[in-house]
Amino acid sequence: MAQAVSNYEIDADDVLEEAPLLDDEAESVEAGPSNAYSREVILCIFICVVLIVCFEIGFTLQVAPLNKVLESIICKNYFPELASLDLHAMADDQRCKSNDVQGTLATLRGWQLVTEILPGLLTTIFYGFLADKYGRKKILLVSVVGIILNFIAYAVICWFSNILSVWLTLVTPMVMFVGGGSVVATSLVFTVASDVAHESQRATTFFIIGAASLSGDLVAAPISSILMERNVWIPIVLGILIMVVGWFGILFLPETLHFRTGGKIPEDLETPSTTKDNTEHTILDRIKTTASQMVAAVSGYIWGDTKVALLMLTLLLTSLGRYAGELKLQYATKKFHWTWAQAGYLIFLKAVCSLVLLVVLLPSASHILTSKYSFTVKAKDLWLARVSSILALLGAFLIAFSPSSPIMVFGIIIFSIGSAYGLIVRSLLASMVEPHHIGTLFNTISLLQTAGSIIAGPLLANTFKLGLKLDGIWIGLPFMVAGCLLSFAAVVIWTITVTTKSVAGQEDVILDSDITQ
């Protein structure tokens, strides 16, 4: 779980699934009450933000501490004579940095990434149906309970590691079948925001939620590192308690299912139809409909369009590559002998880079390209994606071959800035398909990235183990693999061409050597 906290985080890609961030033409805003946030809307958005902040802080507080605890447990299993030492003493023992210990830790974390994805992957449609039928609030409460139980079970196994195998942590995510885990919870938060926010307010509302996510990382990462120096269990327990506070906040959330109808239940829902047969029939219908839409999308307008298919392929490659970043804490402690508390500051660094990227770099670059150089929207997105692809692969290789920790930190900064690739390509893809296909497009992208996550965990864990055996510069093998995958994506994005239309209605072709202005 420690490495897979990103599964619970809301990042820029999540926001874009609801509203493309790089569109240059803002939606027209009509004057009137619809554009002002009412008290009830403000309350709903505030509670959503509180929930996100509580969970981001709770998750981030536990990342480095849980890594340290896992390492100590595995170390004791390999070296029983260390059982009498406390965690601080064990952290200074180089036997805990041995290849066997670090390889086992990487393997455990890699498979944790897989098992944590499964509940959401298998139950999203089911809980989506229940949320549409019985309300967002009820399902969100259940979903958050499942997440909290997962963390509690995980901590209990680690606490009683003298009698419980650490490999039981692979089973704890199964409790997230109660509520669907972070996938369902994140979706419901955006659904609540979408329910209450007027169309003209929606993008701003999603940006607020995204900013709340980053603020949690900014606050919690340094606090976690400081608390770890006192006792590694303090940030773990505190993180769980803060999540519980977030759950209590949901109790004050108004139900938003029928918000747009003034709280009135539509006529077609007033007729009792809650029998077991009807419910099962409706769920099966939804699953069949979703599956048929996905098949039609893949076989038709997605894979039927070579450019769209290639761009989708690059998203799969980059989703594989970006998960190498989950190993950065362990990489820093192994190669440069950092403590886990010191490595925890890398989470803070990534959050700062993401904030600067979303708030300063992307908007500024977008404005300059469209206003000063008169790039079309597609041309702008294409070139921003190209630059991001280069930054991402350079960052990965810098981390992989870094001879010193300052160069590794610089590589992480470059790698984090290059992470905008997925965000930009989604915007580009959204402009290349018909509007009524965008929802299915994003569903397909999410499916591909989920597949990438399932592959990435074991793949990168095994490459890290191999790198440890080869020793020396090969310790950075996961980042070398990530760099190669990102290089393939860069080759594709730099060779692709996009056709668009200018404002005047004349067709412009964006080529590698000819950018429409």
Domain ranges of the chain: 1-21+35-271, 305-517
The token pair at 505 is 């209605």
pLDDT given at position 436: 63
User: Is the per-residue pLDDT at 478 higher than 90?
Assistant: yes
pLDDT at 121: 84
Whole-number Å distance between alpha carbons of 380 and 382: 5
Confidence of residue 203 (pLDDT cuts 50, 70, 90): low
Reading the block at residue 65, the tokens are 């501490």
pLDDT of residue 46: 93
* Mean pLDDT, residues 46-66 taken together: 94
pLDDT score recorded for residue 431: 80
Q: Which helix (H) or strand (E) holds 509?
A: strand 507-510
- pLDDT score of 64: 92
For the chain, what is the mean pLDDT?
81
Q: How many CB atoms lie within 10 A of CB 280?
A: 10
By C-alpha distance, which of 450, 444, 452, 447 is closest to 482? 452
Return the residue matching tokens 């909290």.
148
**pTM metric for this prediction:** 0.80
Q: Give the model's confidence band at 261: pLDDT under 50 very low, under 70 low, under 90 confident, else very high.
A: low
8 A C-beta contact, residue 8 and residue 182: yes
Q: With 60 as the cut, is the pLDDT of residue 512 above it?
A: no
**Is the model's pLDDT at 19 over the cut of 60?**
no
Per-residue pLDDT band at 227 (split at 50, 70, 90)? very high
Answer whether 118's CB lies under 8 Å from 176's CB.
Answer: no
d(CA 295, CA 443): 11
- The contacts of residue 35 (CB under 8 Å, 6+ apart) are 29, 198, 200, 201
CA–CA separation, 181 and 162 (whole Å): 28
511 has a pLDDT exceeding 60 = no
What are the backbone angles phi and psi of residue 498, rounded to the nearest 5°? -130, 135
Architecture of the domain whose range is 305-517: Up-down Bundle (1.20)
As a whole number of angstroms, the distance between CA 336 and CA 180 comes to 38
- Which pLDDT score, from 0 to 100, does residue 353 have? 92
Whole-angstrom CA distances from 435 to 10, 51, 441, 442, 475 are 24, 31, 10, 12, 46
Of 390-394, 438-442, 472-476, least confident by mean pLDDT is 438-442
Pairing between β-strand 498-501 and β-strand 507-510 as defined by DSSP bridges: antiparallel
Q: What homologous superfamily is domain 1-21+35-271 in, according to CATH? A: MFS general substrate transporter like domains (1.20.1250.20)
**Mean local confidence (pLDDT), 378-392:** 92
Establish whether domains 1-21+35-271 and 305-517 are of one fold: yes
Mean pLDDT across the stretch 103-113? 92
**By C-alpha distance, which of 412, 435, 427 is closest to 363?**
427
Mean pLDDT (whole number) for 76-100: 82
